Structure 1
């Protein structure tokens, strides 16, 4: 028979795994008598665990909600998941950072050495944005391997599944692609996804990679001297990159148009552009975006006449969208679509 303390922990662990336990079933699992189970339940109640007894021929027990939080037991995966969640909570900026950090320290202190090592290897920054749709899961072993390489400053090699093309199934591997070689810098979460920010050795530039599309190779490569991300702060760097800003703080594609709308109306929907009033119902808009097509789309949301001042890339982006939209409208409507000869769009 196990010692009383070990048996109590086993009993508590079983009570946490399901709502109701018949007394005889608990006795069989613990290899003790029903009378011993009753005594152990009484001991747990004295420690503050609200265990409710079910009457009847079979009898039974249920761990119920109480007025205080007693000590809890977690298996290995639950403990790691809790620690990761507390790391995220410590960076959310909603007023619980200090409590989350203290809770993480408490959890870490009582963890076995093997789990504490796993947690210490996982370091990341949460750049919070709401997820817009269900996201693919990420293998925890991938996160651990990537984070360990970043902490050790070792070159990471991995196979990477790029974004699928139209009509291709998501997650289909690209045949024949060589492994990527990077200097891993930091793991971040953005819009519910995990990304690795790294210096790409082959492209000689900073890149971000979705962790759910990575398959790390072993062993890792040689050690490297860490680089500083542009701007010095990983959260700000990731925000700029995903929102379309370049390393200088501006957007790489910047254009100028004249809109047949009041400046006050356009200003309400343009937070990072320059709006200049040209008349009661006419204004100049200078705006940037991550791509020329994206910029044309952003300007096209204004239901008004548009005159493109420049550059030529923006005019070509409008022409590209016009052809795409005409195709989306269907064959019977293509004849009705009029190309924009002078840079204006119909109201």
Structure 2
């Protein structure tokens, strides 16, 4: 994997780069649609590639391990061949999912014992096993196994958790370096900065992660209950330490405003379920604000969903039609909304990139934040 830093904003830490993987190039900053169990809910691979312009998507180790399972994925030739998405992929290690199972998991130095949310069966994840699982899934970028404490964690818990994450990281790198990719192309391992909302812990974790010299680095454990301003503070602190010549991935974030604020602070990569999850519930993100498509105000509005929108669905369908679909509980409503929101997110990060290149990001960004946070 190769990363080239191409442009930097003179008045902020915003950057534009080019990330090259075995399955294609990615222009940063970039948003990754979330395909947790091997599919972005309700969206076909062709729509992701041709309409939404997704340059990379995300899968999840925990969910893919449980189903379809490793045997299916390996016999298929990896996730790329299984789900027909030909672009780059990243897999989250499953750490967040495992640790969210608070009542049905047990953490030890060796790893985490947990019960499946599907059938209650017992499983055990170690750093080594998670590396092997991600080798089998076959993503271009794989994540280290970490513990993700809640944003309200005490200092002592956050410190112990961070230190455990670092010890697990060493084991991840050992296993990664002692194994080979399964499908004839290289994979890159990203470590994850933890430390909750405590500046000294975040600083210590960022320094430890930077010392590993990885192909890229991730910032985890944010947007998990802490105030947004605290999240931005932690991003700034961490990015002062993480190397500038490697991509920086902020995990699980967030709203369009969150993404622009993080780009301004030097983040390159994002993922979040918000565009598809909120879309399935009737919320659309647009260039001029958010729309609740279930509201009565759209009942007789036959204008396009978004006249200058980023997807074909925006001019093919009207607001009134989409509202009708939601009230009729038609599956097409969720599909249209998901496609629209994902196309908007990809449009937004590309616009940010273009303004970084043009040199006016710092004036464009506050105006765009004001527009997209309006409620229509």
TM-score band by shorter chain is: under 0.3
Q: Which has the higher contact order (CA 8 A, sep 6+)?
A: 2
Give the TM-score normalised by the residue count of structure 2. 0.20
Give the TM-score normalised by the residue count of structure 1. 0.21
